Chains A and B, each alone.
Chain A
Amino acid sequence: MNEQLAYTIEVFANGLMAGVLYALVALGFVLIYKASGIFNFAQGVMALFAAMTLVGIQNGQVPFAHLINSIFGTDIHYFGWTVHSAFAIILTVGVMVLLAVFVQRFVFRHLVGQEPIILFMATIGLAYFLEGMADLMWGSDIKTLNVCATEGACLPQGMNVWLEGTTYEALGYGFFIDNLDIVASIVAAFLVIGLVMFAQYTKQGRAMRAVADDHQAALSVGVSLNFIWILVWSLAGFVALVAGIMWGAKSGVQFSLSLIALKALPVLMLGGFTSIPGAIVGGLIIGVGEKMFEFLIGAPFLGGATENWFAYMLALVFLVFRPQGLFGEKIIERV
């Protein structure tokens, strides 16, 4: 196989994989925006908070240990046990549900009917509150994330050797794909299918869509707005946990994890703020677009590091021609 063609295919495939990871973050934004019209600035921090909570529970870390030790003069840090990944994930989902209840009860219930910019500002406040809370609960140091089904069967890292060997024998060039990216793609696929099925075929899902379409009409037929918003924030919390696990496995769980939100914005601009499939397709286009541009033009002619700005430029171009995004709902206001 022609070497240049092989490289191009490899970059394309890795772009798709990167796009899936971006889409995982974007999904959380879409869920909340779709149901409540809130652009959740705190989504990246939710991913951080969820991942830190997961590692903390797994490692048997005492939450607020530093605070407790400062007040009572004690020296406790760990309970002395570890928790299996599956159970820790369930407990973390529980924490994210509690967070959703807290957010709904103490923040957004008081802001019903406010301008979107007010709601957006509230999510900025929430982001910084959550960041501080994560620090207070679990500390600021980097944490290694090991999500394992059984001992030795953890989230895989590194090159997929089978794929490399097979493509080398067949094509004369061994392609690189990261095992973690393959897992992330499978998880994202299940997540999207699950979310779409939930929205289409369950009572709560239909109620969620009803609220998204017209919350006053939904209220008039007996849908509980409070419950739906708690449900949506819980789902967004779950998506944040999945994103936090995938990104945290790459870099360790640390405070910069919250910055993954920056990777989701062009995806949202391109895919639309209200479409779950749009988040996936948008992620794939951004992932492939930025990687191919870097490979073909950025690195050879522009000195590299073009991915960040190119992703936004690509999204901007789409925005000019289709402001609602590829899959977003076109807003038509008639006078």
Chain B
Amino acid sequence: MKLKLATMAVAGLMAAGPVLADLVMPSLSFRTGPYAVGGIPLADGYADYFTLVNERDGGIGGVPVRVLECETAYNTEKGVECYEATKGEGSLLYQPFSTGITYQLIPKVTADGIALHTMGYGRTSAANGKVFSNVFNFPANYWDAASVAINYLLDENGGDIKGRKIALVYHNSAYGKEPIRTLETLAEKHGFELSLLPVDHPGQEQKSQWLQIRREKPDTVLMWGWGVMNQVAIQEAANIRYPMENFIGVWWSGAEADVIPVGAAANGYKALTMNGVGKNFPIYDDLQKYVYDAGKSAGAGDQSGTVLYSRTIYAGFLAHMAILKAQEMHGVADITQAMMVDGMENLVITNEMMEKYGVTGMGPEFAVSCENHGGPGLGAVTQWDAAAGVWNQISEFKASDKEVIDALIEEDSMAFAAENNIDLRCN
């Protein structure tokens, strides 16, 4: 009887055929809810990148990629639920595009041995790989952004911004407060006067803040906004006739959706970026051929070339390169979650790789290491041309003030390590 059962089981397995492996890339999307405007291009870009990889290259190392989308509505609890629901599928890398979800996932991914990539958001001090083994925030983080903005102002003002008045309009949340410490340190170093103007969630009403700006007339306004806060702030700035060229948003305040509702009045508004903008990258030709023309675009297929879409094309490229690195390191194509962490930690991005995959100029060359999960911390400045309806990159990718940023990262991450009894790695 036992033999009969075993034979039947083996026959059943053989009939089922070989199990097709795939590389599972979860996508914690937010296509609904108050932040859907940002979530849709992010989700579409990520999905389209891996569709391209499957269609053009037959997957990565011969293994197809399966994007596992889970809707979070930008809600932290739902984000955690999505993580729990998808991690068992062999999910290789999480990119939640939400600082709130990131904070909840950091202990979970560390315990589960899964990689978490938070490019340009999340916990800044996670750049210290000695403390945060599974979290990566290359190529740049919030504190880099604050420093890149100040460096840009230094460049614009002949290296001297002493006595200048800089106002920070920020989302009154953990995300919005991230640059304050850095800006305060940089204010001491460079002698500028910093004023802080918090805006409560969601940011639909900002009259008080902009009347204050009208009264105090700061030389520059920096913005750490997200969602509806961005459109309202840019509109209010236009209303009080604040010079747009002196208004600089972080990279989460610099998408098409942030400026288009304001119309011509938004012309000249600036924003930081961590990735190249526009469609002048060869990868868009491939996307056209293998994804758009084939009717395989994600979502409504109307986000191609937007800033946030390109950002997740770039995020997809970085994940792709990390998978290749993991496959190379371990000599297997169907990598595990632990192998993916290795791939992320040993990732090296070169111009040759960017050229090969059609993303030359979309980001800088850099190398990740056990100690440094944060990358080079480069950022550029873009400016909105309302008449043409495009963002133009108006500065080179430039480095942040590493002397200041690294010290802050060290201090914050070490405090975290002490609080959580974390043994330092990379010795």
Interface residue ranges, A against B (CB under 8 Å): 7, 10-11, 14, 17-18, 21, 65-66, 73, 75, 77, 131-132, 135, 139-145, 157-159, 176, 178, 247, 250-252, 254-260, 263, 291, 294-295, 298-299, 303-305, 307-308
Contacts and interface: CB of A to CB of B under 8 A. Distances in A.
A251 B231 contact: yes
B179 to A, nearest CB: 16
Interface stretch (B88-96, B196-204, B315-323): B196-204
B208 A251 contact: no
Contact of A254 (B36, B205, B235, B263): B36
Interface string B222-252: 0000011001100100111100000000000
B288 interface: no
8 closest residue pairs by CB, A with B: A252-B261, A256-B34, A305-B198, A140-B36, A256-B228, A142-B37, A305-B172, A294-B208
A104 to B, nearest CB: 27
B20 to A, nearest CB: 25
B302 to A, nearest CB: 7
B65 interface: no
Given A140-B36, A256-B34, A10 B207 contact: no
Contact of B32 (A11, A21, A255, A298): A255
Contacts of A251: 204, 228, 231-232, 235, 261
Nearest to A140: B36
Contacts of B35: 256
B200 to A, nearest CB: 5
Interface of B: 31-37, 39-40, 172, 196-200, 202, 204-205, 207-209, 211-212, 214-215, 227-228, 231-232, 235, 238-241, 257, 260-261, 263, 265, 295, 300, 302
Contacts of B34: 254-256, 258-259
Nearest to B38: A142
B239 A159 contact: yes
Given A73-B295, A141-B302, 4 more contacts: A254-B36, A256-B202, A259-B34, A305-B172
Nearest to A290: B208
Contacts of B197: 299, 304
Nearest to B36: A140
Nearest to A65: B300
B261 A144 contact: yes
Nearest to B263: A144
Contact of A250 (B31, B235, B241, B265): B235
B260 A255 contact: no
B208 A157 contact: no
12 contacts: A10-B211, A11-B211, A18-B207, A140-B31, A141-B300, A142-B231, A159-B239, A159-B240, A178-B239, A250-B232, A256-B227, A295-B208
Contacts, number: 128
B421 to A, nearest CB: 33
Contacts of A256: 34-35, 202, 204, 227-228
B296 to A, nearest CB: 12
A77 B241 contact: no
A2 B212 CA distance: 17
A263 B198 contact: no
A159 B241 contact: yes
B123 to A, nearest CB: 23
A127 B374 CA distance: 42
Contact of B235 (A7, A139, A157, A259): A157
A291 B260 contact: no
B165 to A, nearest CB: 15
Contacts of A21: 205
A291 B207 contact: yes
Given A178-B239, A252-B260, A307 B208 contact: yes
Contact of B238 (A17, A145, A157, A308): A157
B37 A139 contact: no
A159 B235 CA distance: 11
Contacts of A176: 211, 214, 239-240
Contacts of A142: 37, 231, 257, 260-261
A176 B385 CA distance: 27
B202 A263 contact: no
Nearest to A158: B239
Contacts of A7: 211, 215
Most buried by B among A251, A291, A299: A251
A288 B232 CA distance: 20
Contact of A252 (B31, B208, B214, B231): B231
A259 B202 contact: yes
Contacts of A73: 295
